Homo-oligomer: A and B are copies of this chain.
Amino acid sequence: MTGLDRTLIAGLETFRGLSDQALDRVLAYARSARHAKGSEIFSQGAEAENFYLLLSGHIRVVRTSPEGHQVIARYINEGELFGIAVAMGRTTFPASAVAAVDCVALAWPNREWAELQTLFPAFGASAYQTIGARLQETQAQVMEMSTEQVEQRIAHALLRLVKQAGRKAADGIEIDFPITRQDIAEMTGTTLHTVSRLLSAWEQRGLVRSGRQKVVVTDAHGLMLVAEHRRRD
């Protein structure tokens, strides 16, 4: 008995509609762990033995190509499942997960996946919906990379980050975790140089305010116009 309290996960989309007993059962084989900023929760190619749920913090999911290029597949927010290789019938992780800030995550042994899915069909449905949603997002990303220029892609990426992990700041919305130019470049398939140049240009135009590992969107509407490749109406 790890003594995890059901209030940890009550209210999360993934477990919606589950009774208190159900939640207790879900937690029965879960282990909670803290992951320091910058540490790897799991590693691309490693044998997948657990699946995870992020309780607090932000996680970067990174794929590295054979040639050593890194691409950030997505950021995981609080309350989301991640590392669910088991749900896709995989035995290894297709990407690495790195804590963008200090994080707390639950981990279940993979064996529990089938179990929980059988016991609580709603959990299974929600999980698969998550995967479906990620497939949609990823395909949308392909679309973006096929049809948009770098400037629009970066604008879209920032808007998405702000939407998913925005925190109200004095003069706009700040992305809630440290993020470098390099990170943004790896999200959008460009270079940190180009990102730096564009952020500088946008800062001049009053769309963003950015600094070391920090981005504040000060004019979301203006940025949306950039994302749509139009000038301010």
Interface assignment of A142: CB less than 8 Å from any CB of chain B: yes
Interface assignment of A69: CB less than 8 Å from any CB of chain B: yes
Of B71, B125, B147, the residue contacting A142 (CB under 8 A) is B71
Interface assignment of A146: CB less than 8 Å from any CB of chain B: yes
Interface assignment of A90: CB less than 8 Å from any CB of chain B: yes
Residues in B with CB closer than 8 Å to A142 are: 71, 73, 138, 141-142, 145, 189
Of B67, B139, B145, the residue contacting A94 (CB under 8 A) is B139
Is A71's CB under 8 angstroms from B143's CB? yes
Residues in B with CB closer than 8 Å to A136 are: 88, 90, 94
Taking each of A90, A131, A135, A138, which has the highest tally of chain B beta carbons within 10 Å of its own beta carbon? A135
Q: Min CB distance, A99 to chain B, in Å?
A: 20
Copies of this chain present in the complex amount to: 2
Interface assignment of A3: CB less than 8 Å from any CB of chain B: no
User: Chain A, 120-160, contact with B by CB distance < 8 Å: what is the 0/1 string?
Assistant: 00000100110111111011011101110000000000000
Is B94's CB under 8 angstroms from A128's CB? no
Given contacts A143-B65, A145-B146, contact A133 B189 (CB under 8 A): no
Taking each of A69, A133, A138, which has the highest tally of chain B beta carbons within 10 Å of its own beta carbon? A138
A residues within 8 Å of B by Cβ?
63, 65, 67, 69, 71, 73, 87-90, 94-95, 125, 128-129, 131-136, 138-139, 141-143, 145-147, 186, 189
Q: Which 6 A-B pairs have the closest CB atoms?
A: A88-B132, A146-B189, A89-B129, A69-B147, A138-B138, A145-B145
